[in-house]
Chain A
Amino acid sequence: MRRKFLIKKITFLLFLVSFVSVAQHNEKSDHTNAPQEKDLKTSIKEYINHHLLDSYDFGLYSYTDSHGEKVHIGFPLPVILWDDGLKVFMSSKFHHGETLAKVDGNYYKLYHNKIYKTDANGTITYDKEHHPTNAKPLDFSITKNVVFIFLVSLLMFFMFKRMAKNYQKNALPKGVGRLLEPIILYIRDDIAIPNIGEKHYKKYMSYLLTVFFFIWIINLLGLTPLGVNVTNNIAVTLVLALITFILTTVTANKNYWGHIFWMPGVPKLMRIVLAPIELLGMVIKPFSLMIRLYANITAGHIVLMSIIGLMFIFKSWIGSPLSFGLAFALSLLELLVAALQAYIFTMLSALYFGSAVEEHDDHH
């Protein structure tokens, strides 16, 4: 009963927010000088690139209305900068990159989705490779991705807390717990215990479970039309990989370090050769975790959006159904990839933890 009420409340809030923001952004934008007839292919490409990037406002969608005005549906998010002091303002000041934001006498410009410090006219200076040379303030803004990470964390926290609470009353799972419990048990019995071992697996369970559900849920939500891609940000996957790396390194036993610096069972000379390789491998393992998750999700989104984009390029009656069918099939595949990447990340993390706490050294 309470849950239903909560869902209703959230839905209502979402509605309210979107209407409020329509009102807020329906201002006249002054980009009439921009070329209207941009090449369709380039605009699709730009759109895809834009979609894959993080942004400073929570944009749901945008369109050009009958008066040639660009209308953005969404709501602004706070920008937090550290530039000789904390600067906090709403991203609506940028007007989607069309105007400068003037804060405490400093001017900031949103250029290619990054905030640069500029003069009052918003001039951007470039170096030889056409990279902006303007100063970049330290940026800790609550971006779209941060909001989404926060929402997913909140969702996970309440979902699993409710599930945990249910166990106090009843030994059997109820509601969503019936779906989640087999997955939790699967992670424990088929990922953690076989890879880490009965003795040590317990201390890693919290991380493994959290990382699995976090990646899975965030990937799934990224596939919804309103969803935001979070795991296609290298910063996000870097955090996850870094935690795996830190946990592996911190909990590693003598045996693990022994295998890295003084590999048992091989000639002395080989040990010296192997040490740097093993040391490199220690870093490469989490690095591969980071790249794998990032690349899989990014690639999936690019392909999916390109196929959807085809619909606008082939304007014939064959193109649209074909591209719709392809996009549909690919979406199904992406659903699988979403779970698969979560599984692989968890599995490999467990494997690395397992190697860190392995005790017997006579298996080589």
Chain B
Amino acid sequence: MEKLINDFSLGLFVWMGVLFVLLVLLLKKYAWKPILDAVNEREEGIKNALASAEDAKKEMQNLTANNEKLVKEARAERDTMLKEAQEIKNKMISEAKEEAKEEASKMIELAKTSIEQEKQAALAHLKKEVGEISLVIAEAVVKKELAAKEDQVKLIEGMLKDVILN
């Protein structure tokens, strides 16, 4: 202890005090404050950048989710549209078929009636023709039969008989 007190130098104490306090003040103004401020600022910056990156990521996720949703919706819509179209197509086809069938049957019916009519007409015509032919034949036959006088008389008589009988 005595050596310590003996070694103590007031001059060194004063110089050290002055120089060190000066050093602290100067460094505070020209070094520590700018350095710590810069470091703080940088750390703030990094923190903010990280936060905004996180936000961007979240937004991105949201966007992707939205997009997926949209795509899904669009797909569903497309599917329903396709389905509807299919249905409409089927319906149209079946309707067309039905109509065609109806039309066909109608036409067939018409054809049938016209055929019937034609047939009737043809039959009537045929009857007439046959009648005419038979008249001609009958004329010819009659002409031949009634060539002789007695045959004519016989026929008249016969006819008369028939008439009387009737």
Contact = CB atoms under 8 A, between A and B. Distances in A.
Interface of A: 53-54, 80, 138-143, 145-146, 149-150, 153, 156-157, 160-161, 163-165, 167-168, 171-172, 181, 184-185, 188, 205-207, 209-210, 214, 233-236, 238-240, 242-243, 294
B28 interface: yes
Nearest to A185: B39
Given A80-B11, A235-B8, A238-B13, 20 more contacts: A143-B9, A146-B16, A149-B15, A149-B16, A149-B20, A153-B19, A156-B23, A157-B23, A157-B27, A161-B30, A164-B32, A165-B34, A167-B38, A171-B45, A206-B32, A207-B24, A210-B20, A233-B12, A234-B4, A243-B20
Contacts of B17: 239, 242
Contacts of B15: 140, 142-143, 146, 149
A232 to B, nearest CB: 9
A145 B12 CA distance: 7
Contacts of A167: 34-35, 38-39
A300 B27 CA distance: 30
B42 interface: yes
B20 A214 contact: yes
B164 interface: no
B147 interface: no
Contact of B28 (A80, A156, A206, A234): A206
Given A54-B9, A206-B28, A236 B16 contact: yes
Contacts of A145: 12, 16
A235 B16 contact: yes
Contact of A236 (B12, B27, B42): B12
A233 B30 contact: no
Contacts of A160: 27, 30-32, 35
Contacts of B11: 80, 138-141, 143, 146
B26 interface: yes
A207 B32 CA distance: 10
A171 B21 contact: no
Contacts of B14: 140
B159 interface: no
A134 B145 CA distance: 208
B10 interface: yes
A230 to B, nearest CB: 8
Nearest to B24: A210
B27 A206 contact: yes
Contacts of A206: 24, 27-28, 32-33
25 contacts: A53-B7, A138-B11, A139-B10, A142-B15, A143-B11, A146-B12, A149-B20, A153-B20, A157-B31, A160-B35, A163-B35, A164-B38, A171-B38, A171-B45, A172-B42, A184-B35, A185-B39, A235-B12, A235-B16, A236-B12, A236-B16, A239-B13, A239-B16, A243-B20, A294-B4
A164 B39 contact: no
B70 to A, nearest CB: 41
Given A153-B22, A234-B4, A168 B34 contact: yes
Given A53-B7, A164-B35, A184-B35, A235 B13 contact: yes
A80 B11 CA distance: 9
Nearest to B12: A235
B19 to A, nearest CB: 5
A346 to B, nearest CB: 13
B77 to A, nearest CB: 51
Contact of A235 (B10, B22, B24): B10
Contacts of B16: 145-146, 149, 235-236, 239
Contacts of B27: 156-157, 160, 206, 209-210
Given A206-B24, A243-B21, A235 B9 contact: yes
Contacts of B160: none
A173 B14 CA distance: 36
A207 B33 CA distance: 12
A239 B23 CA distance: 13
A62 to B, nearest CB: 22
B12 A143 contact: yes
B23 A153 contact: yes
Contact of A164 (B8, B22, B24, B31): B31
Contacts of B23: 153, 156-157, 210, 214
B20 A161 contact: no
B7 A233 contact: yes
A38 B7 CA distance: 25
A269 to B, nearest CB: 34
B56 interface: no
B85 interface: no
A349 B38 CA distance: 25
A196 to B, nearest CB: 14
B36 interface: yes
B39 A150 contact: no
